[in-house]
Amino acid sequence: DKTVFHKDDCIGVDDSSNPRVWATHPVNFDHIFHAIMAMFILATQDDWQNHMWAGTDATSKLTGPVENNQPGIALFYICCIMVAGYLVVNIFVGVFVDSYNMASDKMVKESAGKREPRAKLADLPDGPASGYRRAVCAVVTTTSFDLFIALFIVTNVITMGFESFRQAKWQSLLGLVSNSFFSLAFGWECAFKLFGFYPRRYYKGGWNKFDF
């Protein structure tokens, strides 16, 4: 409701008989967790223009937005897009180049008849010693686990496809819920692998570097 500027006036209903609710923009830097989510969204360039405009219009927690109130904030968003986008693209390309080199080396060894026996979990560098770590490591290294995570990735892409310009409330709610759910799911994937592998072995995988 553009007729309400101060938080104390945000009471009752608007002209459409909808209850007035005072809330901040979903992408903000109010605390560390929101800031991490905001930087992740900026890195993926997901609707970043509207988030930037919301930042430039922001005033304070007790007052409503004013158009172009802080135009300098736009420079911050643009810098984040450039830096984060550059890093993401380079990491993405690096993972594929690393995977290609590994596959090429494997093909050369196989063609030369130098097949190496597959190492067991305990024989790998920094292999899991405890029972809990071995159990977690055995799960996260299976093909079923990879397919399960791949299903999450595909589902996340599909839900992102529902976003549109001037989207309905259910689309905004779907985006908020899906972003929170998949961020939590991928975060747990990272945590399980770090627990099972330990950082030294975890970061030897190209895809693990990309995920992190």
Return the CATH number at 208: 1.20.120
Same domain, 52 and 146: no
Residue 100: CB atoms within 10 A of its CB come to 11
Helix, strand or coil, per DSSP, at residue 165 = coil
Rg over CA atoms, the chain? 23
pLDDT of residue 1: 64
Look at residues 146, 153, 140, 128 and name the one whose alpha carbon lies nearest to residue 193.
Answer: 140
pLDDT of residue 122: 45
| 78, 99, 116 - which closes a domain | 116
pLDDT of residue 69: 87
pLDDT tens figures, 68-92: 888 888 898 888 888 877 777 677 6
Q: Report the C-alpha gap between 118 and 129 in whole angstroms.
A: 19
| 46, 81, 116 - which closes a domain | 116
The per-residue DSSP string of 32-51 comes to HHHHHHHHHHHHHTSSHHHH
User: Which ranges of the chain have pLDDT less than 50?
Assistant: 118-125
pTM: 0.42
Q: Which tokens in the block code for residue 42?
A: 């900026």
Q: Report the C-alpha gap between 90 and 85 in whole angstroms.
A: 8
Same domain, 71 and 136: no
| 116, 145, 168 - which closes a domain | 116
pLDDT of residue 123: 46
* Total domains present in the chain: 2
Range of the domain at 59: 1-116
Residue 91: CB atoms within 10 A of its CB come to 15
Same domain, 146 and 203: yes
Same domain, 111 and 35: yes
The conformational region for residue 130 under phi > 0 = left, psi -120 to 50 = alpha, else beta, is: beta
